[in-house]
Amino acid sequence: MTLLHPDVRLGLGVLTLIGLTWLVLRVARVPLGWGPAWAVVRGAAQLALVGLALRGVFNAPPFVALALTMMLTVAIHTAARRLKALPGALSAVALACSSAAIGTLVVIFALGMLDLSARYLVALGGIVIGGTMLAATLTGRRLAAGLESERDEIEGLLALGATPRQATARICRRSVAEAMMPVIDQTRTTGLVTLPGAFIGALLGGADPMDAARFQLVVLCALIHAQAISGVVVAYRLGAPTQLPPTAS
């Protein structure tokens, strides 16, 4: 095996992991089909294209803004597509992801937590934008589920004179809290249960372990901040609907 080219070993390993994943889900009768496999194939293709594109970005810093804009656009449309059952999802997600990502990056680089360079901006920007997308999606999905499951309670509060925002306030708060639990748990267990990707990437790139730890701390703080903003904005924008979503038949 060691005589094989590294790319060949990588390909064999990926195929093995995908095959075993499919087998486990198939035996357990989890209805995902080839979804995980296609996700890996698509991810591999996109990473290859991004790797080639970033070579040019790092050599031409003005293109950093274009790269981040493309990332943000894809993130917004991905999250909005998941929340299409909620009216106004696209505009809410766009505001949430944009304000959260831009606000977080401005604070970090304005305070000098990281040097303002193309590499740091793209690396941290991509991580933060992904976090805002995740928070927007989770908050919106939990909000939609709450609006449906607690429809009778909401209608009762409205009948008693509550405004739509007052009637759904508890559901909104709970949706944001639940959406943030993954990043909170990740932060609490960093170094004990998991070694995050940014930390490992910095180590593999030759960084001193303490420098890698500092960068990872910035990443974790950035994710918590960005996801809090993203979740709150989505809950606020979508949490007082003029009409409740239809119940599932």
- Predicted pLDDT at 9: 81
Closest listed residue to residue 58, CA positions, set 134, 126, 10, 119: 119
- Predicted pLDDT at 216: 81
Residue 245 is assigned to a structural domain of this protein: no
* Residue 164 pLDDT class (50, 70, 90 cuts): confident
Opening angle at CA 92, ends 160 and 65, nearest 5: 160
Residue 1 has pLDDT above 70, yes or no: no
91 and 13: one domain? Answer: no
* Residue 25 pLDDT class (50, 70, 90 cuts): confident
How many domains, the chain?
2
100 and 40: one domain? Answer: no
Residue of higher predicted confidence among 22 and 207: 22
Residue 66 is assigned to a structural domain of this protein: yes
Average confidence score pLDDT of the chain: 84
- Predicted pLDDT at 207: 66
Could you tell me the pTM of the whole model?
A: 0.78
131 and 203: one domain? Answer: yes
- Predicted pLDDT at 242: 72
Structural domain span for residue 15: 1-59
193 and 93: one domain? Answer: yes
Residue 248 has pLDDT above 60, yes or no: no
Q: Which of 29-38, 47-56, 194-203 has the lowest mean pLDDT?
A: 194-203
Token pair 């949430």 is found at 96
CA distance 190 to 11: 29
Helix or strand run (H / E) with residue 103: helix 89-110
**Residue pLDDT, tens place only, 87-146:** 899 999 999 999 999 999 999 999 988 888 888 888 899 999 999 999 999 999 999 988
Buried b (16+ CB within 10 A) or exposed e, 172-203: bebbbebbbeebeeebeebeeeeebebbeebb
Question: What are 240's two structure tokens?
Answer: 């007082």
Residue 204 has pLDDT above 80, yes or no: no
CATH number at residue 159: 1.20.1640
